[in-house]
Amino acid sequence: DVKVTQSSRYLVKRTGEKVFLECVQDMDHENMFWYRQDPGLGLRLIYFSYDVKMKEKGDIPEGYSVSREKKERFSLILESASTNQTSMYLCASSISGQGKEKLFFGSGTQLSVL
Amino acid sequence: QKEVEQNSGPLSVPEGAIASLNCTYSDRGSQSFFWYRQYSGKSPELIMSIYSNGDKEDGRFTAQLNKASQYVSLLIRDSQPSDSATYLCAVSRPGSARQLTFGSGTQLTVLP
């Protein structure tokens, strides 16, 4: 089975801190994604990557950046955490193939910014 | 207008009944449609995908797609308490099948 591992299940940070969320997948998937999930808003795409060192902005990239130095690892960076970034962050990966996209999600990181 | 809309619910059905979950989408160019199930405190998991008009059945689950009406639905027959979860509709973006737009989800409770 595909495994997508997120480094922390719960994280508490202070306003202004730099925050790193790590995600590792073990199935050699090309595509990796970062979503945030908020009540009533569903999943919103922050950033995604189709290849090593490649990144593209999603729908809500402001205040975030990403890094993909290795195929299996996709990091989300909050440059200066703010309270409105308190959320559940979900990493996902998928293999390429037109019409065959199945997202495999990690277990999520619940981030609280105080 | 939201790109993918779902009734937020909550939706309650008795055990053994049919649960009907609905989703509409705004972009006619979307080609791929998915239903994800998310148990409380867990991450979403794919349960159904559908790409062409009509019905697709998988066990107790049936996905229905009507591209002309921009409508996709999920029917759960013989609902079980274990089906209680939030169901997320996801639609691929035109020109970028790897990117999905999610609805906000419908919370389903199956009452024993």
The amino acid occupying position A46 is I
Q: Could you give the count of Cα atoms lying within 13 Å of A45 in the half-sphere of its Cβ?
A: 23
- Rounded Cα–Cα distance for residues A38 and B104 (Å): 9
Query: pLDDT tens digit string along B8-33?
Result: 779 999 999 999 999 999 988 888 89
Residues 6+ apart with CB under 8 A from B59: none
User: Parallel, antiparallel, or unpaired for β A10-13 and A109-113?
Assistant: parallel
B45 phi-psi bin (left φ>0, alpha ψ -120 to 50, beta other): beta
Judging contacts by C-beta atoms under 8 Å, the chain A residues touching residue B34 are: 101
Nearest CB among A45, A107, A108 relative to B99 is that of A45
Judge: A98–B97 Cβ closer than 8 Å, yes or no: yes
Distance from CA of B25 to the nearest CA of A (A): 14
Per-residue pLDDT at A6: 96
The answer on pLDDT for A105 being more than 70 is: yes
pLDDT at B1 over 60: no
Which of B86, B88, B98, B102 is the best residue to mutate to test the A interface, defined by the most A CB atoms within 10 Å of its own CB?
B98
What percent of chain A is helix, strand and coil (3-state, nearest 5)? 5, 50, 45
* Residues in contact with A95: Cβ distance below 8 Å, sequence separation at least 6, in sequence order: A27, A29, A30, A31, A102
User: In the prediction, which pLDDT does B97 show?
Assistant: 63
Calculate how close chain B gets to A91, using CA atoms only, in Å.
Answer: 10
A55 dihedral zone (left: phi>0; alpha: psi -120 to 50; beta) = beta
Looking at residue B7, its pLDDT comes to 83
Q: CA A6 → CA A9, A11, A86, A92, A110, distances in Å?
A: 7, 12, 17, 10, 11
The pLDDT of A37-47, averaged and rounded, is 91
Mutate to test the interface with B, among A37, A51, A104 (most CBs of B within 10 A): A37
Contact A43 B98 (CB under 8 A): no
Question: What's the pLDDT score for residue A83?
Answer: 97
C-alpha–C-alpha distance, residues B45 and B65, integer Å: 20
Per the CB < 8 A criterion, the answer to whether A74 and A85 are in contact is no
Cβ-contact B72, B56 below 8 angstroms:
no
When pLDDT is cut at 50, 70 and 90, the band that residue A95 belongs to is confident
Read off the pLDDT of each residue in A4-29 and give the average, rounded to a whole number.
95
Residue A73 and residue A82 in contact, taking contact as beta carbons nearer than 8 Å: no
Q: What distance in Å separates residue B101's CA from the closest CA in chain A?
A: 8
Residue A18 pLDDT > 70, yes or no?
A: yes
**Distance from chain centroid for Cα A31:** 12
- The predicted pLDDT at position B9 comes to 79
Q: Does A1 touch chain B (CB under 8 A)?
A: no
Distance CA A24, CA A1 (A): 14
pLDDT in tens, B34-86: 999 999 999 999 999 999 899 999 999 999 999 999 999 999 999 999 999 99
pLDDT of residue B2 exceeding 80: no
Q: How many CB pairs under 8 A join A and B?
A: 52
